[in-house]
Structure 1
Amino acid sequence: MPRVVSVFLPLWPTDRFRRKSGAAAPPADKPLILVGRDGRRRVVLAADTAAQGLGLRVGMPASKAQALVQNLHVEDADPQGDSEALDRLALWALRRYSPVVSADPPDGLVIDATGAAHLHGGEDAMLADILCRLAAAGFTAQAAMADSWGAAHALARFAARPTLVARPGRSAEAILSLAVAALRLPGDMVDSLRRLGFESIGDLTSSPRAPLTLRFGPELGRRLDQAIGRINEPVEPIRPMDIVEVRCAFGEPIGSAETIARYAGRLVDQLCAVLEERGLGARRLDLLLGRVDNGIEAICVGTAMPVRDAKRLTRLLTDKIETVDPGFGIELMRLAATLAEPLQPKQAVSSLIDKPQADVSELIDTLANRVGEGRLYRFAPVESEVPERSVMKIAPAAPDCGEDWPIQWPRPTRLLPMPEPIETVALLPDHPPVTFTWRGIRRRVRRADGPERIFGEWWKRDAELTAVRDYFQVEDEAGERFWIFRAGDGEDAATGSHKWFLHGIFA
């Protein structure tokens, strides 16, 4: 079942102005409007949250807005720049989230997330990640996922707070209570429908179609069918000007997996030839299959390092062909390297003087494309004495960061995400526990080593100026070894709560 994401940017022009202005931008609490020409009149084309809170609206004469609000910050609007920036934002989403992304002017994006959400931790996690990254860049956003572009568009603008995921197969039900304006209809048509008593989409679906079509034309029925999923509305993916892309059109539609795999291999050969001419290697490939019903099936694969090996790339693509639904047939195939990086020829390694190094990048690529790129990682050390801050996740093929693990004291092979409280019997201040209870199981300590005292990082937070932890390695009667600590030095209450916690488990 298709799944489409609609991203709504309600303050796109003003957010983009503030981001572009940097330190020269007005404070967030100072009302800002962007004005432009509507014929001979100067009107408000965009207003930020503060301006809207004072009653300023898009379409209002600029002179009236300035008369209503003192110290109003007024700037010239840049619709052309907003449109170009929206295309650049769509290219960013294309490289990060899905092979089928398009700008949805004037203030949104549309993403075909069919088969792509699991690569980002699921549908809810994907929407949360999109909004988190946009917020970090200074953009206010709302997002919704549904079975169709029309439904996702309506939910993102009229129901998302700030995200909403309509269950597969239930998108039509989710939009019935929304206002008629959610159907992307012209403003005069929306006003006419309201005057006739149609307030919600549900009112339209329960009314005979013929009188509405006779009065308003086919546009109303088309938008309604697109929203509830009766009519397919394909997303035409945006493509950067310098993208490396090859395509193949068919006189007769194809549908078998073997035929698709064969032509995919031919396209990979052509693509690798172009990449070699440009000295590039592919980091991500998008195979788009255009169906005869205007639907688009997509296969997206990524690599840990730039690759130009045709057999390897073909294998990654063909591993996912079983996920393709050809429908009534595929009439067009397009293969694009949406992410490519320089790849220089490598000199062959001599077995006489050089020790060959194992290349696990192909295994990394296979696993990452099966389980998701975000689920495949390795740990790297971080320069910090605090255990939970001394490790970070990095990409499997990322270069070493230059740090090394501490060697003064051994560290457990498994560090818990958060220290878990335990109940102990111990002598203060320097003795390890005699017994401790963790997750309802009481354990008697047979051997112990410690304490290893770790101080807080006072340069990060004032609260850590006096913070202390005393860590012990303990072994119970069953031979299991644990890493536990006492918060505080055991004497001064200012150094910690003196409660005990379990932080890690040794192999």
Structure 2
Amino acid sequence: MSRVVSLFLPRWPTDRLRRTSGDASPPRDAPLILASRDNRRRVVTALDANAARLGLRAGMAVAKAQALAPDLVIMDADLRGDAEGLDKLALWALQRLSPIVMPDAPDGLVIDTTGADHLHGGEAAMLAALTERFAAAGVEARAAIADTWGAAHAAARFLSRSTLVVPSGGLEPMLRPLPIAALRLDAEMVASLRTLGFERIGDLLDQARAPLTLRFGPQIGRRLDQALGHAAEPIEPFRATAIIEVRRTFPEPIGAAETIARYTAHLVEALCADLEGRGLGARRLDLLFHRVDNTSQAIRVGTAQPVRDVKRLTRLLCDKIEAVDPGFGIEIMDLAAVLAEPLDTRQTVSSLVQAPDPDISGLIDVLANRVGEHRLCRFTPVASDVPERTIASIPPLAPETGATWQGDWPRPPRLLAPPEPIVTMALLPDQPPVWFTWRGVRRRIRRADGPERIRGEWWKRDAELAAIRDYYRVEDDAGERYWLFRSGDGEHPETGSQRWFIHGVFG
């Protein structure tokens, strides 16, 4: 079952203008409208949230808008700039979210995320991260995901929620209470249907199709079938001129995995030749399959560093061919380097002069494309007094930061995240515990060393101004060594809760 995201930007023209105008942008609290000429009069084509709260609306005469809001800021609409901005957003989504992205003019994007949501933490997390990214950029956004483009489009625009995940198979209950305008019908047709008493999509679903088709044509039935998934609605993948792409068209549709793999190798060879001529290497490849039923499927692979090796890229793509359903046949294959970076050719150093560094990038690429790039990382030291903040994860092939761990006190190789509470007894505030109970097992302490006092990072967080931890290295009767700490100095409540925790295990 396919899954489609509809991204809705309700204030896209005004949000884009504020973002691109820089210092010349109108004040955030000033009502703003964009106007264009309709025959002899100027009309409102877009407005921000401030103007909408004043009762203004698109299509209103500018003169009337000025009468309602004397302090109104009026600027010329830039339809071409809005369209170009959507194309840039589509390229951004193509490089980061999914191989199949299309601008949904005039105020959104449609993204086929089938099989890609797990790379972003699931559908809900993916939508939340998407809308938060736009909000941070000053662009209002709403997003919905459903089985069809039509259902996702309706949910994003007619349900007042920033994100919505429509479960698979739950299209009709979601669509029924929505207004008929959610079906993307012509405005005149919507007005005619309302005159006849049709207000909700459920009213159309309960009506016989033949009378509607006889009076209004096939558009209503087609839109209903597309929204419910009974009819296909292909998404034309967006391609920018900057993307390097090669294509193969077949006179007869293909479907065998061996045939697909063979032509994949031919496409990779042609793409690498083009990349070599430009001095580039591929970081992300999309292989699109256009089937004879007018639908598309795609596979995506990425690399940890720019690559132009034909065999290596072919292997990465062929490893995912089994996920492709050719249906009744594939008639076109597109291979695109949606993300490419400069690749410097390096002279091979003779092994008699210097031992070459082992190249594990191929292994990293294979693992990343199988389990997800976000699941591969390595750790690097971070300058911090708080133990759990002394480690950060970075990409596997990221350059060395040069940071090292400082301090003379030993640290356990295994830290618990988060520290786990324990039950213990200590004789005095500065004395180590005599025994402690952890995970239901009581352990008597035979040796201990400490305390090592660690203060909170008050320069980062005001709440840690007086925070104190006293750490002890302890050894039990069985010879196991642990790292315990007390939250607080044992006397003053403002320094911590005075509770004990286990933070790490030695050995």
Shorter-chain TM band: over 0.9
Match of 2:121 in 1: 121
Shift in alpha-carbon separation, 1:252–1:438, aligned structure 2, 3 A? same
Shift in alpha-carbon separation, 1:212–1:306, aligned structure 2, 3 A? same
8 Å contact 1:144–1:160 — kept in the other structure? no
Shift in alpha-carbon separation, 1:63–1:397, aligned structure 2, 3 A? same
- Distance in 2 (CA, whole Å) between partners of 1:75 and 1:436 is 71
Shift of 1:97: 0.6
Alignment of 1:382-401 (within 5 A): 382-401=382-401
Match of 1:430 in 2: 430
Match of 1:214 in 2: 214
Match of 2:258 in 1: 258
- Distance in 1 (CA, whole Å) between partners of 2:210 and 2:304 is 56
Q: Secondary structure at the match of 2:190?
A: helix
Shift of 1:478: 4.4
Which one is further off, 421-430 or 75-84? 421-430
Shift of 1:4: 0.8
Specify the code of the residue in structure 1 equivalent to 2:246: V
Which one is further off, 332-341 or 21-30? 21-30
Specify the code of the residue in structure 1 equivalent to 2:486: R
Match of 1:134 in 2: 134
Shift in alpha-carbon separation, 1:191–1:478, aligned structure 2, 3 A? farther
- Distance in 1 (CA, whole Å) between partners of 2:498 and 2:41 is 71
State the superposition RMSD in angstroms: 1.9
Alignment of 1:370-385 (within 5 A): 370-385=370-385
8 Å contact 1:143–1:160 — kept in the other structure? no
- Distance in 1 (CA, whole Å) between partners of 2:67 and 2:439 is 66
Shift of 1:487: 2.1
- Distance in 2 (CA, whole Å) between partners of 1:457 and 1:310 is 50
Q: Secondary structure at the match of 1:289?
A: strand
Which one is further off, 427-436 or 311-320? 427-436
- Is residue 232 of structure 1 aligned with residue 229 of structure 2? no
8 Å contact 1:120–1:372 — kept in the other structure? no
Match of 2:73 in 1: 73
Shift in alpha-carbon separation, 1:16–1:476, aligned structure 2, 3 A? farther
Shift of 1:94: 0.2
Match of 1:151 in 2: 151
Alignment of 1:16-35 (within 5 A): 16-35=16-35
Specify the code of the residue in structure 1 equivalent to 2:370: R
Match of 2:471 in 1: 471
Shift of 1:245: 0.8
Match of 2:184 in 1: 184
Q: Secondary structure at the match of 2:17?
A: helix
Specify the code of the residue in structure 2 equivalent to 1:436: F
Match of 1:313 in 2: 313
Q: Any stretches of 5+ residues in structure 1 without a counterpart?
A: none
Which one is further off, 416-425 or 173-182? 416-425
- Distance in 2 (CA, whole Å) between partners of 1:60 and 1:304 is 52
Match of 2:166 in 1: 166
Specify the code of the residue in structure 2 equivalent to 1:471: Y
- Distance in 2 (CA, whole Å) between partners of 1:153 and 1:375 is 32
Match of 2:346 in 1: 346
Shift in alpha-carbon separation, 1:485–1:66, aligned structure 2, 3 A? farther
- Could you list the per-position Cα deviations for residues 459-490 of structure 1 after superposition, in whole angstroms to 9, with x for gaps in the alignment? 22333332222222333444443333222222
- Distance in 2 (CA, whole Å) between partners of 1:442 and 1:72 is 72
Q: Any stretches of 5+ residues in structure 2 without a counterpart?
A: none
Match of 1:502 in 2: 502
Which one is further off, 408-417 or 329-338? 408-417
* Aligned pairs, number: 507
Q: Among the aligned pairs, what percent are the same residue?
A: 66
Shift of 1:26: 4.1
- Distance in 1 (CA, whole Å) between partners of 2:486 and 2:33 is 56
Match of 1:286 in 2: 286
Q: Secondary structure at the match of 2:67?
A: helix
- Distance in 2 (CA, whole Å) between partners of 1:261 and 1:440 is 56
Specify the code of the residue in structure 1 equivalent to 2:38: D
Match of 1:55 in 2: 55
Q: Secondary structure at the match of 2:422?
A: strand
Specify the code of the residue in structure 1 equivalent to 2:257: A
- Is residue 83 of structure 1 aligned with residue 83 of structure 2? yes
- Distance in 1 (CA, whole Å) between partners of 2:420 and 2:75 is 54
- Distance in 2 (CA, whole Å) between partners of 1:35 and 1:505 is 67
Shift of 1:23: 4.9
Specify the code of the residue in structure 2 equivalent to 1:248: R
- Could you list the per-position Cα deviations for residues 226-272 of structure 1 after superposition, in whole angstroms to 9, with x for gaps in the alignment? 11111111111111212211111011100111110111011111111
Q: Secondary structure at the match of 1:434?
A: strand
- Distance in 2 (CA, whole Å) between partners of 1:192 and 1:212 is 11
Give the TM-score taking structure 1 as reference length. Answer: 0.95
Match of 1:104 in 2: 104
Shift of 1:24: 4.7
Match of 1:322 in 2: 322
Specify the code of the residue in structure 1 equivalent to 2:302: G
Q: Secondary structure at the match of 1:46?
A: strand
Match of 1:487 in 2: 487
Specify the code of the residue in structure 2 equivalent to 1:76: D
- Could you list the per-position Cα deviations for residues 188-233 of structure 1 after superposition, in whole angstroms to 9, with x for gaps in the alignment? 2112212222222222122111111111122222211111111111
Shift of 1:407: 4.5
- Distance in 2 (CA, whole Å) between partners of 1:474 and 1:194 is 78
Q: Secondary structure at the match of 1:425?
A: strand
Shift of 1:32: 2.5
Shift in alpha-carbon separation, 1:418–1:293, aligned structure 2, 3 A? same
- Distance in 2 (CA, whole Å) between partners of 1:123 and 1:280 is 33
Match of 2:356 in 1: 356
Specify the code of the residue in structure 2 equivalent to 1:254: I
Specify the code of the residue in structure 2 equivalent to 1:202: G
Shift of 1:172: 3.6
Shift in alpha-carbon separation, 1:267–1:449, aligned structure 2, 3 A? same
Specify the code of the residue in structure 2 equivalent to 1:404: T
